[in-house]
Amino acid sequence: MTKKKNDVITKEDVVVKFVGDSGDGMQLTGNLFSDTAALEGNDLANFPDYPAEIRGPINTIAGVSGFQVHIGHKRVYSSGDMCDVLVAMNPASLKSNLKWAKKGATIITDYDTYNDKVFEKSGYTVNPLEDGSLSDYNVIQAPITTLTKEALASLNLDNKTAEKSRNMFALGMMYFMFNWKQDKAFDFFAKKFKKKPIIVEANKLALMAGYNYAETVEAMSITYNVPAASLDKGRYRNISGNIATAWGFLAAAERSGRPLFLGSYPITPATEILMELAKHKSLGAKVFQAEDEIAGICSAIGASFAGSMALTTTSGPGLSLKSEAMGLAVITELPLVIVNVQRGGPSTGLPTKSEQSDLMQALYGRNGECPLIVMAAASPSDCFYAAYEASKLSMEHMTPVILLTDGYIGQGSELFRIPKVASLPSITPPIAEANDKDYQPFKRDPHTLVRKWALPGTEGLRHRVGGLEKENGIGNVSMDPANHQLMTDLRYNKVMKVADSLPLQEVTGASEGDLLVVSWGGTYGAVHTAVEDLINEGKKISHCHFKYIMPLPKNTEEILSKYKQIVVCELNSGQFVQYLKINFPKYNYTQYNKVQGLPFNVSELSDKFNQILKEI
Amino acid sequence: MEENLTVERSRVPLTKTDFVSDQMVKWCPGCGGHAILASVANVFPKIGYRKENFCMVSGIGCSSRFPYYVNTYGFHGIHGRANAIATGVKISNPHLSVWIATGDGDSMAIGGNHFIHTIRRNLDLNIMLFNNQIYGLTKGQYSPTSPIGSVTKTSPQGTIEHPFNPGELVLGAQGTFFARAVDTNVKIMTEVMLEAARHDGTSVIEILENCVIYNDNAHLQITSKDLRDEHQIYLKNNEAMIFGKNREKGLRLTQGGLEVVTIGENGITEEDLLIHDQYSQDPYIHLMLAKMSLPHFPVAMGVIRSAMFSTYDDMVEEQIKHAKENTQIRNVDDLLNSGDTWEI
């Protein structure tokens, strides 16, 4: 951190959090802030933090909605722990988010919303702006409501409409704080509200008023400069994990030549994938909103039988409902990708919060010996590649795949370097040829154990599959004991052989040493950042982040064997560590877990790792 | 009715043997399933589609072993989900003629939700509902169509549930096609199956099936030789609703609903009888016909309703066609580069 003459502080990274009532437009504000930073060349990661209720009661903590943006000159891997700047549009949002502000953080809040009536609703007994509780922070109390209305006076809008631009006043202050040119915001408004010129004008006036106000008040004496990040050359966009998942599937369908079918039932936080794919009929996507979770997966299984690249998307409780049908996809050996955007459980749990507690369910949560591929995406942009890879593995190996993402990476967003579809690996499903005299439903490739996919309508391949055990090869119903043993082993070995086509597991840091940090899925950003910081401090620590869980990459045990101590970090009570212990029992495992519906903080991880390193 | 043009027709004439599978049929001797299977083998060649374009889907239950016994593409699903699986098959490939074999447990109980929603969407599927009013495969428990008071292994004192009338459920779910047949009458089964195949939309055929082991003679009042003429009315489109051994009875519509009348009594002539209009979009009379039950009414057989409405699968294709004609996004590269992007 260097302080310059004109009070511009140059920073490696800054975390800004926008919080307000659900109706205050915090998601839009955060997105515009993030898009501007992207245009400035910063790396970034975002996370929306909204309540389970659509519009909680006004001015209460239940109604607070937030959006956190982490921008950097350095590479940014997570949406950040604590914020440097907190924009709180009312007392309730300040009360519920103050704990996320760093000591010394700048807090911008709307002074006009502070009155006794509102304090009562937000759970304050005294005015927090006056009781000294904010003395550790740089608080800017701006009369945002009043000034917004004044700025918009010439437009003759009603009060309610005028007040809707309060968020853009706040954004204007942020534009000043980050030394950004206002015309970037004007371009956004023009695009975003193309059909409502009056709103474009209102937002423009509000943003300018906020900018000018910030320039005038003395409290804003410090402004930030976050220089552009050094990113690989290429075309970039911002992308959330759920959208990336949907797009990865579309890419896989195009590349494989198999038409996309999604059968799904809306469930938070997975619904966006369904909504996104529903938009893309022009790419041939067939999207079926089913009557329930079971119909979602069963229709997908039917579509897979008929030759589609079939998908179903859900979150935890929905995965439970799909369990029986997953077994059907396993025994019929049909391709199918099941996406579970994990949320807090059990039962309805914490619908809008993130967790990694469905791993055991994904691995084992079905009747019978029922192996399938389990994968986990690491970040919002990785969801694109994970969805693509899941589709490829599923079709090429004729097996269902569970792709685990989570609410944090599903709804969070980050920069995405746009690939060319032609540059993605080819996908070649084992489709049976018409009139193949040797075709049998369960005749297998001797190396991969994969059966052929015979599509209804094809001449000479009429056959039956189903949930009853079948005789290997010929595919007749069979209750023969030896055949059941054989088929059980074949189904398992077929999935284990997928490891032959997986990339070897990589390690960040030294390939042997004192401490190996293990993580999987959506915690990559925080864990990677924590380990990288410690490596830079000269600590003997390495990081191994898993994306392929069933089967594990072939060199997994070799990696585990090279470290004195292994710490497995996950947002559950220790499911992956159990899985590793089952597979590789002889190593020295410890674990770090959190089940609060929240992502890991970098700082808590660093503390834990430092503690372990001291004890080794 | 117009022929369905979506499904490719066979270039060679087909026969029964084209659809007989090499699997041993494992239903009990005397089970109604055998006659239903024979009817399907009769009717598939008549429908005229390529044999590879038939797809048979089922759930769980005695009825659901059906796909193994027909030489088509076939999928034996899980309990209750036949309609959901078939929905995916048909949306994925609308060029298939999709047939569902299901039972009163499979589609009225565990799969009731899929049944009503499939019907509501009006996908072009053919559902053969084997109604034997009992759970046979699990050895004799009552089903959602067992008459109230039925003594079964799980209702030793008689059931205390009001049964579903499948026809009422179909029409309540806005069904566009409903037919009824008994398993002993291959001729009528074949006729209604042919009509179901030609109907563009979800066709439900309720087949009153006898379970010789667990619910023998359940439909005897309707099907027995002595009673069937009096206790059944076979509906034919555009014909007066007449029944009875001597074809002396009929149905007429009064303000209070349907009424059984005798031709020649009280000045009643054939002119007074209702003429069956299976194609009427209004389901009002169809519902009354479907609901008719003994002892006051004969049970309606044949095609009760066959109304034209748009189908889900056609509309899927239309929306895709429209989207393709009206888009800037023609491939995934276009999509990835759409919206806000920038070069670094």
pLDDT tens digits for range A549-608: 999 999 999 999 999 999 999 999 999 999 999 999 999 999 999 999 999 999 999 999
Q: Is the pLDDT of residue A284 over 70?
A: yes
- pLDDT of A398 reads 98
**Residue spans of beta strands (DSSP E) within A526-595:** 541-546, 548-550, 563-570, 589-593
Question: Tokens representing B180?
Answer: 């009824």
Q: Is the pLDDT of residue B85 over 60?
A: yes
Per CB-CB distance under 8 Å, the chain A contacts of B56 are 464
Question: Residue B331 domain-assigned?
Answer: no
Q: Do domains A2-225 and A245-423 have the same CATH topology?
A: no
Average pLDDT of the segment spanning B82-90:
98
- pLDDT of B146 reads 96
- Banded model confidence at residue A5, pLDDT cuts 50, 70, 90: very low
Record: fold of A2-225? Pyruvate-ferredoxin Oxidoreductase; domain 3 (3.40.920)
Q: Is the pLDDT of residue A2 over 70?
A: no
Interface confidence: ipTM more than 0.95: yes
- pLDDT of A3 reads 38
**Residue spans of beta strands (DSSP E) within A394-536:** 400-406, 413-417, 464-466, 513-520
Per CB-CB distance under 8 Å, the chain A contacts of B17 are none
Average pLDDT of the segment spanning B191-199:
97
* CATH number 3.40.50.1980 is the correct assignment for the domain at A513-615: no
Domain that holds residue B32: 16-218+310-322
- pLDDT of B5 reads 64
How confident is the model over B151-173, as pLDDT tens digits? 999 999 999 999 999 999 999 99
Q: Is the pLDDT of residue A4 over 50?
A: no
- pLDDT of A616 reads 87
- pLDDT of B129 reads 97
- pLDDT of A57 reads 85
Q: Which residue has the tokens 């459920």?
A: B169
Residue of chain B whose alpha carbon sits nearest to that of A281: B320
Cβ-based neighbour number of residue B184 at 10 Å: 18
In chain A, where are the structural domains located?
2-225, 245-423, 430-501, 513-615
- Banded model confidence at residue A218, pLDDT cuts 50, 70, 90: confident
Decide if A235 and B343 are in contact by the 8 Å CB cutoff: yes
Per CB-CB distance under 8 Å, the chain A contacts of B62 are none
- Banded model confidence at residue B4, pLDDT cuts 50, 70, 90: low
Ordered DSSP codes for B26-59:
-SPTT-THHHHHHHHHHHHHHH-B-GGGEEEEE-
- pLDDT of A7 reads 76
Cβ-based neighbour number of residue A524 at 10 Å: 22
The secondary structure element, H or E, covering residue A428 is none
The CATH number assigned to the domain with range A245-423 reads 3.40.50.970
Per CB-CB distance under 8 Å, the chain A contacts of B67 are 464, 466
Number of domains in chain B: 1
Average pLDDT of the segment spanning B1-21:
83
Decide if A286 and B316 are in contact by the 8 Å CB cutoff: yes
Chain A interface, best mutation among B25, B73, B102, B317, by max A CB count within 10 A: B73
Question: Residue B318 domain-assigned?
Answer: yes
How confident is the model over A66-104, as pLDDT tens digits? 999 999 999 999 999 999 999 999 999 999 999 999 999
Q: Is the pLDDT of residue A24 over 50?
A: yes
Decide if B76 and A466 are in contact by the 8 Å CB cutoff: yes
The C-alpha angle B245, B270, B301, rounded to 5 degrees, equals: 50
Average pLDDT of the segment spanning A117-132:
91
User: Which neighbouring-strand residues pair with B57?
Assistant: B75, B100
Candidates A73, A54, A74, A75; CA nearest to A65 is: A54
- Please tell me the least confidently modeled range out of A58-62, A358-362, B268-272: A58-62
Average pLDDT of the segment spanning A405-424:
97
Which residues are CB-contacts of A244 (< 8 A; sequence separation ≥ 6)?
Answer: A380, A381, A382, A383, A384, A387, A416
Distances (CA, A) of A193 to A152, A524, B339: 17, 36, 14
Measured between alpha carbons, how far is A75 from A86 in angstroms, rounded to an integer? 22
- Banded model confidence at residue A23, pLDDT cuts 50, 70, 90: confident
Q: Is the pLDDT of residue A51 over 90?
A: no
Average pLDDT of the segment spanning A496-510:
98
Per CB-CB distance under 8 Å, the chain B contacts of A476 are 23
Decide if B88 and A299 are in contact by the 8 Å CB cutoff: yes
Q: Is the pLDDT of residue A6 over 60?
A: no
Q: Is the pLDDT of residue A545 over 60?
A: yes
Question: Hey, is the C-beta of A467 within 8 angstroms of any chain B C-beta?
Answer: yes
Query: Is the Cα torsion angle A569, A575, A576, A580 positive or negative in sign?
Result: positive
How confident is the model over B245-284, as pLDDT tens digits? 999 999 999 999 999 999 999 999 999 999 999 999 999 9
Measured between alpha carbons, how far is A43 from A229 in angstroms, rounded to an integer? 6
Q: Look up the CATH number of the domain holding residue B130.
A: 3.40.50.970
Which residues are CB-contacts of A449 (< 8 A; sequence separation ≥ 6)?
Answer: A490, A493, A494, A497
Mean pLDDT, chain A, rounded, equals: 95
Question: Residue B72 domain-assigned?
Answer: yes
Q: Is the pLDDT of residue A1 over 50?
A: no
- pLDDT of A599 reads 93
Question: Hey, is the C-beta of A308 within 8 angstroms of any chain B C-beta?
Answer: yes
Question: Residue B171 domain-assigned?
Answer: yes
Distance from CA of B64 to the nearest CA of A (A): 10
Q: Is the pLDDT of residue A334 over 70?
A: yes
- Banded model confidence at residue B55, pLDDT cuts 50, 70, 90: very high
Distance from CA of A299 to the nearest CA of B (A): 4
Parallel/antiparallel/unpaired status of strands B249-254 and B134-135 = unpaired
- Banded model confidence at residue B302, pLDDT cuts 50, 70, 90: very high
Question: Residue B92 domain-assigned?
Answer: yes
Which residues are CB-contacts of A126 (< 8 A; sequence separation ≥ 6)?
Answer: A119
Question: Residues 330 to 349 of A: which have CB under 8 A from any B CB?
Answer: 332
